[in-house]
């Protein structure tokens, strides 16, 4: 029996490769080894849009399960968690980059549910783990944006920005996260979970 996660993975890969509109239910069923047009996919989802929204919901769930440590510092824990957010669902991020504005998703709601909470959690995490400092929120947001663009550049061009070494790139961002007060950092547990935020409600996009 086909597992739901495999259904989402295969569908997202096809969406990212051929476009949302260019990927039919029959194509997804064929890629899963199901009989095309027989309706086997509908045991898992009610429609193609439901499949896409389920993939977004899975990404939201994965945001609360960052990679296990140990980490050398809270700044490293945050940087690895941001990259893990993208690396756990690369096809979803490729799809959003490719045709976000034409997808049947409420992008404002998606930002409120996925992106903004990540920024808020990161600021709270660094403030608690490292300490406060000048322009803390701005520096954390700039650092996260840099890490996201690192992956965007790799998705689009197959390389890091200006071919900079990835390890060195991430280390600079970690340093940016760490430039707060000079208070000693608290030890980082093996599994680091960012502070929870209140989830925004899921809203469906209105179809014309």
Give Cα 106 to chain centroid, integer Å. 16
Mean local confidence (pLDDT), 89-116: 92
137's tokens: 């929120």
Domain ranges of the chain: 1-45, 59-208
Query: Percentage of the chain surpassing pLDDT 70?
Result: 85
111's tokens: 């930002």
Q: Which residue has the higher pLDDT, 10 or 179?
A: 10
Size of the chain in residues: 208
Q: pLDDT band for position 207 (50/70/90)?
A: very low
pLDDT digits (tens, 9 = 90+) for 111-152: 999 889 989 999 999 999 888 877 899 999 999 999 999 999
105's tokens: 């998703």
Q: Cα–Cα distance between 204 and 50 in angstroms, integer?
A: 9
pLDDT digits (tens, 9 = 90+) for 46-81: 999 999 999 999 988 887 787 888 999 999 999 999
Burial of 173 (0-12, 13-18, 19+ CB in 10 A): buried
pLDDT at 201: 52
pLDDT at 69: 82
pLDDT at 114: 86
Q: Cα–Cα distance between 175 and 152 in angstroms, integer?
A: 21
Q: Answer positive or negative: Cα dihedral of 31, 32, 36, 42.
A: negative
pLDDT at 204: 52
Which of 4-8, 139-143, 187-191 has the weakest average pLDDT? 187-191
Look up residue 114 and give its DSSP letter.
I
* Class of the domain covering 1-45: mainly alpha
Q: Cα–Cα distance between 33 and 197 in angstroms, integer?
A: 39
Look at residue 200 and tell me whether its pLDDT is greater than 70: no
Query: Percentage of the chain surpassing pLDDT 90?
Result: 60
């Amino acid at each position: 029996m086909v597992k739901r996660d495999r259904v989402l993975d295969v569908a997202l890969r096809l969406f990212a490769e051929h476009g949302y509109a260019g990927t039919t239910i029959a194509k997804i069923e064929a890629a899963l080894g199901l009989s095309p047009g027989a309706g086997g996919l509908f045991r898992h989802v009610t429609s193609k849009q439901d499949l896409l929204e389920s993939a977004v919901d899975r990404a939201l769930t994965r945001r609360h399960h960052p990679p296990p440590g140990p980490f050398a510092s809270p700044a490293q824990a945050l940087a690895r968690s941001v990259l893990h957010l993208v690396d756990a669902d690369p096809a979803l991020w490729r799809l959003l980059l490719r045709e976000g504005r034409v997808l049947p998703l409420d992008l404002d709601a998606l930002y409120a549910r996925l992106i903004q909470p990540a920024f808020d959690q990161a600021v709270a995490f660094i403030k608690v783990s490292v300490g406060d400092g000048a322009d803390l929120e701005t520096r954390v947001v700039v650092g996260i944006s840099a890490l996201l663009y690192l992956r965007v550049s790799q998705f689009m061009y197959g390389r890091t920005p200006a071919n900079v070494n990835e390890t060195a790139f991430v280390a600079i961002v970690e340093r940016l996260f760490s430039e707060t007060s000079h208070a000693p950092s608290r030890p980082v547990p093996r599994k680091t979970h960012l502070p929870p935020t209140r989830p925004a409600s899921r809203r469906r996009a209105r179809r014309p």
